[in-house]
Amino acid sequence: MRPRVLLRLLEIQLVLLRHGLDDYVRATHLYRPLRFLFFLSPLVWFERRRRVTRGARLRRALEELGPIFVKFGQAVSTRRDLLPADIAEELALLQDRVPPFPGSIARGLIEQAYGQPLGQVFEVFEETPLAAASIAQVHAARLPGGQEVVVKVLRPGMRAMIERDLEVLYALADLAHRYWREGRRLRPREIVAEYQKTVLDELDLMREAANASQLKRNFAGSDLLYVPEVYWDYCRNDVMVMERIHGVPISDLARLRTAGTNIRQLAENGVRIFFTQVFRHNFFHADMHPGNIFVLIEDPLRPRYAAVDFGIVGTLDPRDQYYLAENFMAVFERDYRRVAQLHLESGWVPAHTRIDEMESAVRTVCEPIFDRPLKDISFGRILLRLFEISRRFNMQIQPQLMLLQKTLLNVEGLGRDLYPDLDVWATATPILREWMRERTSVRALARELRVRLPGLMEAARGLPALLGGMVERELSGARSPRATVAAPDALELRAALAHAARRRDAVILGAAVLLGALVWLAVAREPAWIGWALLAAGGTGVVYGLWRSN
């Protein structure tokens, strides 16, 4: 183990002891040869007298250990399928409160990224930062054309610090897996690997710019969400330049009310934005805390959200996307057996799970939720309960689903802070129902066929050669010495050739008709019944030709 890692581990142990987390030090067997010093340490005895919860102590320790551990705690807080509830709740309170680094250093880093003086890039650059976070900080600037922009620049030495602390986290995970009783169940190495991917992605500001560009394209022309423009010519791996947003922070409720903002619509729009991202676009902003959300109030009666900071986004597997929507609707209708069946079909629980046991477990956790008005019911809490059930039945939930659940809780909390009577169900269920109807419509099938049409046509081009090879192999078999007839006469051979040709023609003709039907449906030609009739005729021809070959 490298000396820098050993020194960092020693620092971590001291911080844990200072916050009364000696149980974790003992459980992971940190510095086993020095155990007698551990028990003699006054830090241990003084901290035992504190009356602070273990979750709060762990949160404070992570904050003291620095930005990388803060972000690790934030990431781990989404894994409620693995953590005790009290610890998960406390880790969710972690905030990126870090002091800014000097603007002169930011100027030097940006000039290094561009390879030229900053005065040749920007007309104006403000060295006093607008905001600072654990990974980067943001400065206001103006382009030569007069556009107001913000410049995001990575903190100095961030990559080296992350590499060191990731190495430390892996060392701690190995100790926890080896010695801690809960280590195997919590899968610490997997958690660190999951965090590593997230934090390394956040270091690539070109990737964040691409996320912003995708989100802007998804909401083009929408009156729900505005995404700032990315200025690609000024973006580098360590620097990102975007349009500056002049909006009201979502947390400044007094200013919003003074401006006459329609607060109820604002709260409902937040829910619509989230469910639109998840189900229509399958691409959602996964870091929607108040610091990243602004409100544009040029028209206070029709307020519009504006988002920033696109380092963390999420997508779902199409199957998870479908089963998630179905689960929400089944829970809403209290069809607990359907919820159990969906968990089995989706693979969220093992295939050998008994439906009746799963149904009973779902009913037990969901029925108490419905003992209150619908407007007070939380989608995020229901999803969390479903994941807890899955954990009891030994299913490991995918990280993206946990990321979605955490984002959903943030969205609901934000909406109800704005408008306490927000009915999330009434706002979200029409979006879910419409999405499910569209997903099973003929138009959706036609879109799918249109996407797959090039592959189908390519396969159709190879079909004659494939069938010709099949015929040739059969005729070769007929001429083989192993054939049941040793020396067929010319008439029998001619009959066999004619039979093979008819089969080939039937399959080729059926395939051609089938292809024509797919094209008809894919381009949505009218009347649609012609396409379906051709589809049936072509399929029949192919089946007939193949059946005659037996």
81 flagged as catalytic: no
Whether residue 435 sits in one domain with residue 502: no
Q: What is the pLDDT of residues 2-45, one digit of tens each?
A: 677 777 777 887 887 788 776 666 655 555 544 444 555 555 55
Query: pLDDT higher for 115 or 541?
Result: 115
Token duo for residue 288: 């929607």
339, pLDDT greater than 80: yes
Task: Return d(Cα 3, Cα 114) in angstroms, integer.
Answer: 35
Contact 68/165 with Cβ under 8 angstroms? yes
485, pLDDT greater than 50: no
Question: 165, 238, 287, 320: which is the annotated catalytic residue?
Answer: 287
Question: In one letter, which amino acid is 490?
Answer: A
User: To the nearest whole number, what is the mean pLDDT of the chain?
Assistant: 78
Residue 334 lies in a domain: yes
Residue 44 lies in a domain: yes
Whether residue 423 sits in one domain with residue 508: no
Domain holding 168, by residue range, is 3-97+159-201
Whether residue 174 sits in one domain with residue 76: yes
Whether residue 475 sits in one domain with residue 414: no
Whether residue 89 sits in one domain with residue 14: yes
Residue 102 lies in a domain: no
Overall number of domains in the chain: 3
Residue 154 lies in a domain: no
269, pLDDT greater than 90: yes
Q: How confident is the model at residue 486 (pLDDT cuts 50, 70, 90)?
A: very low
What is the model's pTM?
0.72
The residue from 440, 463, 490 where one domain ends is 440
User: H/E element holding 114?
Assistant: helix 103-114
Cβ neighbours, 10 Å, residue 372: 9
Task: Give residue for tokens 């320790």.
Answer: 61
Whether residue 432 sits in one domain with residue 341: yes
Contact 446/521 with Cβ under 8 angstroms? yes
Residue 517 lies in a domain: yes
Task: Return d(Cα 54, Cα 81) in angstroms, integer.
Answer: 19
Task: Give residue for tokens 């879109």.
Answer: 447
Identify the pLDDT of residue 142: 96
Largest CA distance in the chain: 105
Whether residue 467 sits in one domain with residue 447: yes
DSSP 490-550: HHHHHHHHHHHHHHHHHHHHHHHHHHHHHHHHHTT-SSHHHHHHHHHHHHHHHHHHHHHT-
Question: In one letter, which amino acid is 301?
Answer: L
Whether residue 378 sits in one domain with residue 361: yes
Residue 402 lies in a domain: yes
Whether residue 470 sits in one domain with residue 418: no
Whether residue 471 sits in one domain with residue 515: yes
Whether residue 484 sits in one domain with residue 425: no
